[in-house]
Amino acid sequence: MKIKWHKRIWGALVLGSLALSLVAVGMAQAAPPHPEDPAQRLQATLSNLVVKKVIDAEQSHRVMLFFQQKDTERKAEWEKMKNMTPEERDAYMEQQCIQRCKKRPDLIKDLMAGAGLSQEQAKALAQEMRPPHGPSHGPGPDGQNPPPPAS
C-alpha cells in the first residue's frame, strides 16, 4: 500500500514538532535557575555601576559590607532557630511575621541609611539587582511592569 506524499509530509511535521517540544522541555528542566553565586552577582552589579559612574568604589565597598552584615544577621537568626523546639520555632516565626507585616522592608531606604547612598543611587542599585522578568511573570513587587530591556 502506497502512502500519499501529503500524508507523509504531515506525519513528518507532527513527529518533528513533538520531538522539538520534548527537547525544549528537557532543556528547560535541566537548566539551573541561577548558576551564579549571589555574592558574585552582587559584585558584578556593583562593578557595572562603578563603570557607569553611578556609584564610586568606596560606595561599592560600603554596599558589599552592608549586604555582608545582612547575611550575617540572617545566619544568626537561623542558628538561633535551629536550637528551638518546633513549638518555639512556630511561635517565633509567627511573631516575626507579625513584626514584618507592620514594617515592610524597603531596600532603597535601607541602602540609603546603611550604605550612605543617595536616593537616586539606591534606586539604580535596586533596579540593577532586580532579576530580569519575562513577559509571563507579570508585574513586579511594586505593582508596575518591569521596563523593557535596554538595547
CB 111 within 8 A of CB 60: no
| Predicted local distance difference test score (pLDDT) of residue 72 | 93
Domain regions of the chain by residue span: 38-130
- 112/7 Cα distance (integer angstroms): 67
Residues 6+ apart with CB under 8 A from 67: 42
**Is residue 107 predicted with pLDDT exceeding 90?**
no
* HSE of 135, CA atoms in CB hemisphere, 13 A: 1
pLDDT digits (tens, 9 = 90+) for 65-103: 999 999 999 899 888 888 889 999 888 888 888 777 777
What letters, b where the CB count within 10 A reaches 16 and e where it falls short, cover 89-100? eeeeeeeeeeee
Sign of CA dihedral 109, 111, 116, 121: negative
